[in-house]
């Protein structure tokens, strides 16, 4: 995916995605990408439930879930923390999911997914997803920050504090 295509996709994304990209760019400053320590959770508190941090590791696992937000866990129905993306992906296939991570790790540039996909359980999902590189040395991607906006939130857990927010929205819509 070219930089121009990525920028075009970002421009068409939900405003939350664009806000996260703007924050990432602000934190990068004059560097290609920010460090993990540049990202201050208190500055992006509203986005934390939809953030995932994935370590780029030098072994066969390649990409490992370090931290997974509560909304992402509810959407998946499980917490993949500590597992590799190849074994715990949440996309149509492991290969499709890994393409985005590989692109970011190799280029040190953001990558954006927009559209429909089939989740591992067969449900049709629609999301905007941004993959943002973080680097400790300014050149090598060490962590990929993943942030998404889900147009059809489909929780796969029965009990979760995350669901309270959605249940209250459903009640508001019914009234």
Digit-coded pLDDT (tens) for 71-107: 989 888 889 999 999 999 888 888 989 999 999 999 9
Other CB atoms within 10 A of residue 164 CB:
10
- Tokens for 115, please give them: 């559209």
- Residues with Cβ within 8 Å of 11's Cβ and at least 6 positions away in sequence, in order, are 18
Residue for token digits 């590989």? 102
Residue for token digits 């490992």? 64
In the chain, what percentage of residues exceed pLDDT 90?
64
CA 141 to the chain's CA centroid: 16
Q: Strand, coil or helix: what is 20?
A: helix
H/E element, 130:
strand 124-134
d(CA 105, CA 109): 8
In the chain, what percentage of residues exceed pLDDT 70?
90
Model confidence at 166, pLDDT cuts 50, 70, 90, reads: very low
The pTM for the full model equals 0.87
In the prediction, which pLDDT does 171 show?
Answer: 44
Please give the C-alpha separations between residue 66 and each of 83, 93, 114, 124, 142, in angstroms, as whole numbers.
8, 20, 24, 26, 11
Residue 9 clears pLDDT 90, i.e. is over it: yes
pLDDT digits (tens, 9 = 90+) for 25-52: 999 999 999 999 999 999 999 999 999 9
Residue 173 clears pLDDT 90, i.e. is over it: no
């Amino acid at each position: 995916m070219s930089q121009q295509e990525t920028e075009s996709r970002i421009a068409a994304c939900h405003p939350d995605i664009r806000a996260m990209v703007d924050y990432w760019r602000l934190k990068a400053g004059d560097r290609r990408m920010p460090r993990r320590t540049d990202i201050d959770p208190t500055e992006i508190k509203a986005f934390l439930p939809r953030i995932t941090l994935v370590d780029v590791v030098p072994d066969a696992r390649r990409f490992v879930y370090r931290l997974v937000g509560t909304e992402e866990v509810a959407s998946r129905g499980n917490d993949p923390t500590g597992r590799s993306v190849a074994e715990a992906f949440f996309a149509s296939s492991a290969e499709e999911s890994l393409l985005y991570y590989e692109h970011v790790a190799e280029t040190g540039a953001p990558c954006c997914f927009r559209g429909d996909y089939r989740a591992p359980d067969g449900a049709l999902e629609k999301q905007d997803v941004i993959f943002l590189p973080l680097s400790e040395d300014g050149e090598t991607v060490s962590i990929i920050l993943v942030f998404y906006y889900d147009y059809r939130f489909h929780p796969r857990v029965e009990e979760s504090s995350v669901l309270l927010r959605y249940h209250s929205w459903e009640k508001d819509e019914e009234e």
